[in-house]
């Protein structure tokens, strides 16, 4: 158990819908990362937050957005869903400090199926 | 920018044989390198990591990897494959003391034949 929790574990929805995926980082971790794992794109970085602020963006679609709340949990919002958005979405967290190595700890993932 | 290339999307070995999964990286700054394993319908588990200390890194389940700067490689090895090693393996790279996002390779599916 990495200490990172993600809910829900599975999500089945229809095209055009909107969903929210939730991530609670390990206690004390300030940085949260979202990754998408799909059959055609592999594992790719979507977006990173550090202490409530967006820090870096990867290959995140405009239909997707995220935020990190004052209690440091994060939500990934996916809207106008398409079949191709079906994927496993991972959240990872790390301490986020600069003067020592920051290991990223991964949550179990949320499997999204768009029908 | 950094990237990793995993040579061979599928590798098949016999039980008891040497496992060698290849990873080459590209990074303009000193990298941090990782190997993750993913079993079917499960999340990512960290096997081992290189964070600029010893170049030969030992991980869990008998795996190890050697960082070779001259070859820009970080190949994963295990002397004797076990049936339970069958899984998908991902090499990943990051920089800046790991504060940046991981860049993953495309993965190598390891099959272990009895």
Residue A26 touches partner B, C-beta closer than 8 Å: no
Q: Is B62 on the interface with A (CB under 8 A)?
A: no
Taking the C-alpha atoms of residue A113 and residue A78, their distance in angstroms, rounded to an integer, is 12
Q: Examine residue A8 and say whether the peptide bond preceding it is cis (omega within 30 degrees of 0).
A: yes
Please say whether the beta carbons of B67 and B55 come within 8 A. yes
Q: Counting beta carbons within 10 angstroms of the beta carbon of residue B77, is it exposed (0 to 12), middle (13 to 18) or buried (19 or more)? A: middle
Distant-in-sequence, close-in-space partners of A73: CB < 8 Å, separation ≥ 6: A22, A23, A24, A25
pLDDT (0 to 100) of residue B20: 98
A98/B99 Cβ within 8 A: yes
Interface contact flag, B97 A101, Cβ < 8 Å:
yes
Give tens-digit pLDDT for B27-85.
888 889 999 999 988 889 999 999 877 899 999 999 999 999 999 999 999 999 999 99
Of B42, B46, B104, the CB nearest to A43: B104
| Residues in chain A closer than 8 A to B90 (CB atoms) | 43
pLDDT at A99: 66
Question: Which residue does chain B place closest to A57, by CA atoms?
Answer: B101
pLDDT in tens, A3-62: 999 999 999 999 999 999 999 999 999 999 999 999 888 999 999 999 999 999 998 999
CB contact under 8 A, A99 and B97: yes
């Amino acid at each position: 158990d990495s200490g990172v929790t993600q809910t829900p574990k599975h999500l089945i929805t229809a095209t055009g819908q909107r969903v929210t995926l939730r991530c609670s980082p390990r206690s004390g971790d300030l940085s949260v990362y979202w990754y998408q794992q799909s059959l055609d794109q592999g594992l790719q970085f979507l977006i990173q937050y550090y202490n409530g602020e967006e820090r870096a963006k990867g290959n995140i679609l405009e239909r997707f957005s995220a935020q990190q709340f004052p209690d440091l949990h994060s939500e990934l919002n996916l809207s106008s869903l398409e079949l191709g958005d079906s994927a496993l979405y991972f959240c990872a967290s790390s301490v986020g400090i600069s003067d020592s190595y920051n290991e990223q700890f991964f949550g179990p993932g949320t499997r999204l199926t768009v029908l | 920018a950094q990237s990793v290339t995993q040579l061979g999307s599928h590798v098949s070995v016999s039980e008891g044989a040497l496992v060698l999964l290849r990873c080459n990286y590209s990074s303009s700054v000193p990298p941090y390198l990782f190997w993750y394993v993913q079993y079917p319908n499960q999340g990512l588990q960290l096997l081992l990591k290189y964070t600029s200390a010893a170049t030969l890194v030992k991980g869990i389940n008998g795996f190890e990897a050697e960082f070779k700067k001259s070859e820009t490689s970080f190949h994963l090895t295990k002397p004797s494959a076990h049936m339970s090693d069958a899984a998908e393996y991902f090499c990943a790279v990051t920089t800046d003391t790991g504060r940046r996002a991981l860049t993953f390779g495309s993965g190598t599916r390891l099959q272990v034949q009895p």
